[in-house]
Structure 1
Amino acid sequence: MKALIETIVASLVDHPEDIVVTETEEDTKIVYHLTVNQEDVGKVIGKNGRIAKAIRTVVYAARTDAKKRIYLDIM
Structure 2
Amino acid sequence: MKSLIETIVEPLVDHPAEIVVTEREEENKIVYHLEVHENDVGKVIGKNGRIAKSIRTVVYAAGMKSNKKIYLDIM
Q: Which runs of 5+ in 2 are unaligned?
A: none
1:68 is matched with 68
The percentage of counterpart residues that share the same residue type is: 76
Secondary structure, in 3 states, of the residue corresponding to 2:14?
A: coil
Q: Could you tell me which amino acid in structure 1 is paired with residue 41 of structure 2? A: V
Q: Which has the higher helix share?
A: 2
Structure 1 stretches of at least 4 aligned residues deviating more than 3 Å after TM superposition: none
Give the TM-score taking structure 1 as reference length: 0.97
- Tell me the amino acid that sits aligned with residue 61 of structure 1: A
Q: Which residue pairs with 2:24 in the alignment?
A: 24
Deviation of residue 46 (structure 1)?
A: 0.2
In the superposition, the TM-score normalised over structure 2's length comes to 0.97
Deviation readout 1:19-54 (Å, 9 max, x if unpaired): 000000000000000000000000000000000000
Structure 1 residue ranges without an equivalent (≥5): none
Residue correspondences, number: 74
After superposition, the CA RMSD in angstroms is 0.5
Amino acid at match of 1:46: G
Specify the alignment match of 1:48 in structure 2: 48
Q: Is 1:37 the counterpart of 2:56 in the alignment?
A: no
